[in-house]
Structure 1
Amino acid sequence: MNRPIVAITMGDPAGIGPEIIAKAMLDPVLHSRARVFVIGDLGRLEMAMKVVDSPLQTRRIESADEALFAPDIIDCFDIPGVDTELPWGILSPEAGHAAYLYLEKAVELALKRDIDAICTAPLNKAALHAGGHNYPGHTELLAELTGTPEVSMMLTTPKMRVIHVTTHIGLVDAVARIDGAIVYRTIRRGHDLLVRAGIENPRIAVAAINPHAGENGLFGNDEEAQKITPGIEQALAEGISVEGPLPADTLFFKAGRGDYDLVVAMYHDQGHGPVKVLGLENGVNITVGLPVVRTSVDHGTAFDIAGKNIADHASMLEAIRAAVELAGERAEVK
């Protein structure tokens, strides 16, 4: 198989994104698995390389086919625009707008199949909004840029995978939005992704909304029967191996010990909490349902430690690894 071409977007250039990219590019295993280049501000990348004392060289490129992919060089598709005097760890509109431009370029290249996958460093939502782009985060922005009406967020760790029915909305709004149709579509997207990743018959468990899965109507307003079960039944009718709705507390315990390949969470914190307890440093965020492969670190811009050479790049390496796995088929047929 050809090594997939993965473009890493810098995210917010005032956060830890440039640093974790600079550190990740020092890893020899990364270069054995993928052909990687960076989309971002070259000047900012070089600042980060000084922070981490990187011995690598940089090289400006203007298209994916100009990249050399040499292990001692970081190819950078340079999109300048951030003031060199902008301090690390400062929220700014220019950095938020820059993060948008990096992602926009990556999507353009992916849709043209110039690259096989996108791996994103973190952006800052407040900076993104200040820069004129009113999206809750990467997931919704990617859906807009690719013209995709609905996508799902999946978080993965070495011990667990979780896909979310709803994400960046309030809890009351999330419960209102859930219905059998969106539950089914989420199950289907998660199932199909795992099959493409090599799991022939994924074991999927669906979390309930209420404590004890509603205790047969004792808790809540029968949301499990009305909002979740119809989606599960549709998936079962199509031959998908799925159970639920199950009480979330025991479900996540069982998933953590390996009973399931995928958990379907109903709302943001129901899925994010267990995953981050298991290991934020190895977490990966995957956007499921896009026409392009996109993975990301499962942490934020960490403004409080940006520019201090203490940010851990393990999640970035895991995100690149996941991008390579998901992009395998695309790289094979290019």
Structure 2
Amino acid sequence: MSTPATPLIAVTMGDGAGVGPEVTTGALLDPSTTERCRPVVVGDAARLRLAASIAGVAAEIAPIGSVADAVFTPGRINVIDLGLLPADLPWGRVSPVAGDAAYQYVRVASELALRGEVQGICTAPLNKEALHAAGHLFPGHTELLAHLTGTEEVSMMLSTPKVKVVHVTTHIGLVDAVAKIEPGLVERTVRRGHRAIRGSGVESPRIGVCGINPHAGENGLFGHGEEAEKIVPAIEVLRADGIDARGPLPADTAFFLAGRGDYDLIVAMYHDQGHGPVKVLGIEAGVNITVGLPVIRTSVDHGTAFDIAGTGKAGVGSMIEAMRQAAELSVAA
């Protein structure tokens, strides 16, 4: 009886001036990664060699022309080498060249996914300032991938071993977030999260939906009735459809309840409401998942860490976890 194939995962190297090359190299040399999936990096072979040298690890960095050319053996890292970075690119500095290269890595990975050559994407961190300096005006990976795949609306999910959080709004100001939240958006976000949790093996997810105001408005005591106007109608529709969505919940207790197992997923209304509790659990515990795309996409839940880039000090635990979840959520072709 033959062993089932593991999924092919495109791994984007991220901003070459940050820790992306180091965490990519480290994670792909970890045996647990190669046991779960067949990773192909989209990036810069020379930068990966430099990162491996800095980390003091032995790696065969093998440029390939296509996914079909990849050979998976211990210690080998297959790279679709775009060759966009200069050899003297400084570590830890914003660079339009590195920002454009990071964009191109994601573009190529998206094309591979849309053609069915890979079953998932795992992204190392890019730098938003560098991305913008290169003329690519996207708030982050989530919006960039939606654009590249022609997806009208996606959601950001943060996944940890204890808590999973999907966000109704993400990279916009708090005042703008409250204005943007409306029942349709809340409903669609919950449905995307519900599908993702079911895809991970939970048949009937229990979903806790946060309020916007302190104490979820306390029956109109705080705020201007936002919960009743923007959230309650969505929950009513979802429950009528058989989805176990509960709330609006006070955000200051919702995450505690999820952590002890009462909920499989928490729905946060804005960026910091969801990110804050997850970051308390530790950067290496969190993985960023974009839900709603035509392909699975996971990412580390940390930035480019310019302060330690090129020093060999970057931890690879979050990237290994991101690879693990990409493999688990993807189905091999």
Tell me the CA shift for residue 196 of structure 1: 1.4
Letter in 1 for 2:319: M
Alignment partner, residue 244 of structure 2: 241
Matched with 1:262 is 265
1:190 to 186, 189, 193: 193
Q: What is the distance in 2 between the residues matched to 1:70 and 1:107?
A: 25
State whether residues 38 and 75 of structure 1, in contact with CA within 8 Å, keep that contact through their aligned partners in structure 2: yes
Does the CA contact (< 8 Å) of 1:116 and 1:327 recur in 2? yes
Q: Match for 2:75 among 65, 72, 77?
A: 72
Deviation, structure 1 residue 278: 1.0
Residue 12 of structure 1: CA displacement? 0.3
Q: Secondary structure at the match of 1:6?
A: strand
Q: What displacement does 1:164 show?
A: 0.1
1:5 Cα deviation after fit: 0.5
- CA drift of 1:327 comes to 0.3
Q: Which amino acid aligns with 1:234?
A: V
What are the equivalent positions in structure 2 for 1:184-333 lying under 5 Å apart?
Answer: 184-328=187-331, 331=332
Partners of 2:280 and 2:116 in 1: how far apart?
36
Pick from 110, 122, 129: which aligns with 1:107?
A: 110
Aligned length: 330
- The whole-number CA distance in structure 1 between the counterparts of 2:141 and 2:128 is 9
1:139 is matched with: 142
Measured in 1, the distance between the counterparts of 2:161 and 2:224 equals 36
Report the 3-state secondary structure (helix = DSSP H, G, I; strand = E; otherwise coil) of the residue aligned with 1:286: strand
Structure-2-length-normalised TM-score: 0.98
Cross-structure match for 1:33: 36
Measure how far apart 1:144 and its partner are: 0.3
Secondary structure in 2 matching 1:300: coil
Distance 2:59 2:218 in 1: 59
- Check whether the contact 1:46–1:58 (CA below 8 A) recurs between aligned residues: yes
Q: List alignment gaps of at least 5 residues for structure 1.
A: none
CA distance in 1, matches of 2:256, 2:290: 24
- For 2:217 and 2:54, the matched residues in 1 are separated by 52
Residue identity opposite 1:134 in structure 2: L
Q: What's the % identity of the aligned pairs?
A: 61
Deviations 1:255-297 (A, max 9, x none): 1112110000000000000001012112100000000110000
Q: Kindly state the Cα deviation for residue 253 of structure 1 after the two structures are TM-superposed.
A: 1.1
SS of 2:318's partner is helix
Letter in 1 for 2:235: I
CA contact (8 A) 1:37 1:69 kept: no
Match of 1:8 among 11, 15, 22: 11
Aligned ranges for residues 116-195 of structure 1 at < 5 Å?
116-195=119-198
Letter in 2 for 1:15: G
Residue 166 of structure 1 and its aligned partner are, at CA, apart by 0.2
Aligned partners of 1:62 and 1:114: how far apart in 2?
A: 13
The answer as to whether partners of 1:22 and 1:52 remain within 8 angstroms in 2 is no
Quick check: 1:62 aligned with 2:68? no
After TM superposition, give the deviation of residue 172 of structure 1 in Å.
0.3
Q: Whole-Å Cα distance in 2 between the matches of residues 261 and 270 of structure 1?
A: 17
Letter in 2 for 1:92: S
**Equivalent AA in structure 2 for residue 46 of structure 1:** R
1:69 is displaced (CA, Å) by 1.5
Whether the 8 Å contact between 1:163 and 1:263 is mirrored in structure 2 is yes
Does the CA-based 8 Å contact 1:122-1:296 persist in structure 2?
yes
User: 2-side partners of 1:253 and 1:36: how far apart?
Assistant: 35
* Stretches of structure 2 lacking an aligned partner (at least 5 in a row): none
Is it true that 1:87 corresponds to 2:90 in the alignment?
yes
> Partner amino acid for 1:274?
P
Structure 1: 4+ residue segments shifted above 2 A: none
Q: Post-superposition shift, 1:23?
A: 1.0
